[in-house]
Amino acid sequence: MCLIAFGWQAHPRWRLLLAGNRDEFHARPSAALARWPDSPVVGGRDLEAGGTWLGVTDAGRCCVVTNVRDPGDPQRGVSRGLLATDYLRGEAGAAAHAPSLLQTAADYRPFNLLTFDAADAFYLGNRPMPKAQPVSPGVHGLSNADFNTPWPKARALMQQVQAWLVSADDSEDFAPLFTALADEHRAPDDELPDTGVGLERERWLSSAFIRGEHYGTRASTVVAIGHDGRGVMIERRFGPFGHFEGETALSFGSV
């Protein structure tokens, strides 16, 4: 994923409400949202390295990963997507998993990771050094920088998630969140971050939804997990130039 906003313990029905976009090269092979036949993971699947960018389980666990945008930082190490699948397949809860991962976090490509279970949520990263912190109740955002870094598109999506949590009359009407994820508005130059990719690319990457021939938004996803452990995951997929390629919705339940 490259853009995430979520509400944790901030809604009377949903203990986790997450909306995010996965931006990736269109040539990288991936499978659509599904129940994996060989593990308890529910999510999309990276067919190159075998991991996932966002997944859930019937036990109410959720994990999502982003990269860190820094052209000067070599993308060497173990695939980030395996961090998510390892957590989802494992038995350790978020609180126990965090200190354990810190021991090996430097072995992975630059990452930001969010882990959730029935009781806890954690943010973990490995740039500039391994770190972990519990996530407090409320609305948070994550992109390709650090946790809650105020990039314009992250701030905007956080505001939309906050508005949904406060005002949604139908707590299963996720259309406003998908509208926010489809926003192609670009930030003003004076609000752009400087991540070393040049002004034109910073402008292009500043919108929530990125449309391109070779690289762009591949999936927009909403995850909602109730306080009872039951939830839904909805994925909309896109090809080159933002061409819509399909939608999948899967329910999962407490076990």
Mean pLDDT throughout 43-56? 96
Q: Would you state the pLDDT for residue 76?
A: 84
Bridge partners, residue 148, by sequence? none
Q: Is 125 helix (H, G, I), strand (E, B) or coil?
A: strand
Name the phi and psi angles at 138, rounded to 5. 135, -165
* Paired sense of beta strands 131-134 and 121-125, if any: antiparallel
Mean pLDDT throughout 94-110? 95
Q: Is 111 helix (H, G, I), strand (E, B) or coil?
A: strand
Residue 34 confidence (pLDDT) above 60 = yes
Residue 145: count of CB within 10 angstroms of its CB: 19
Q: Would you state the pLDDT for residue 255?
A: 56
Q: Would you state the pLDDT for residue 196?
A: 86
Give the closest residue to 119 by CA, choosing from 195, 217, 15. 15
Fold of 3-252: Penicillin V Acylase; Chain A (3.60.60)
* Segment 131-180, tens digit of pLDDT: 999 999 999 999 988 888 889 999 999 999 999 999 866 688 999 999 99
CA of residue 240 relative to chain centroid, distance: 20
Dihedral sign, CA of 153, 155, 161, 167?
negative
- Per the prediction, the chain carries an average pLDDT of 94
**More confident site: 53 or 128:** 53
